[in-house]
Structure 1
Amino acid sequence: ITSTKTGSITSIQAVYVPADDLTDPSPATTFAHLDATVVLSRQIAALGIYPAVDPLDSTSRQLDPLVIGEEHYNTARGVQAVLQRYKELQDIIAILGMDELSEEDKLTVFRARKIQRFLSQPFNVAKVFTGQDGAIVPLKETIRGFKGILSGEYDHLPEQAFYMVGSIDEVVEKAKTLQ
């Protein structure tokens, strides 16, 4: 709500979006006044990926290279670009199948699916439901993991290894048990 040099008062609001239409005038007007939006997605939840945050529709004014640094910014934008291209390809995949995609687009799809799964997080509060300990991953490790996925460093690993893990090192270890 307000900030000073010594602190800030913030507010978290839940905004109802009629028919999940983010372009509806009411929520769109509200979003214009917010510093950040976290959009939960039914489609992502249907994939069993939690938290079901949509990284394409969610926004933050802090996603600025002057605020978060070039490496973080470029990695985040790279992740968004891959996910956006995957979203654009989904109709083609549904109609014609993966075989009709170019090699470059196939690679984009494989990396996007790994990114989606790497965005899943084991939470301490969910341990009673999952039986899995939560993970806290430092920002630098998270950036390193996504940079590696974007660069193709982990193309050889199965996408299942990226699901519900903490760091990219855990992905590598999990992949060993899957092969």
Structure 2
Amino acid sequence: MAVCDASYRFTFIEVGAGGREGDTNAFTHSKLGKAVLSDSLEFPGNELLNGISTPYFMVGNDVFPLISRLMKPYGSRKRDVPERIFNHRLNRARRCIDNAFGILCAKWMAVQRTQLSNPDTAQKVVAACCSLHNFVLRTSPADQYLPKDLDAHTLTHTKYIRDNIKKYVNSSSASLQNEAAEV
């Protein structure tokens, strides 16, 4: 389980869940998941979006629970255009973690293939590679490490918050993103 910032630096990692466990189970049992689900993780104070107090949140994919600190896309059933645009933009933000792991795997051979070591050693190798990844991002010019084609950049109440964030995110929609969301 990992979290990263917009610069592909890991801000949280927890290595140890089995690959067959699945994202939902791994999240629920991780320290991060427990803290997010109990709302005990320290986030910055709420900000006003469209005049509504809105909490800071992390972005997850559709397997994660929708809670005020964890936004996920709208379901796939009959979404209107604003919801499709919101999903497209939310998924672009979520791709940061996918890209961070992609960069990690491309640059560190130790995580490119199935680990041939025992689980305890494999956990240490993955954690070390994540730390080295962050170190190199902090100390090297981005063009030397990042791939050249990488783009740099209560339930009812929670649904209301997501709708408000959707309005805010979609308020300055570009025609290209509208077209991309209609696919």
TM-score normalised over the length of structure 1: 0.35
Task: Using structure 2 for the length normalisation, give the TM-score.
Answer: 0.35
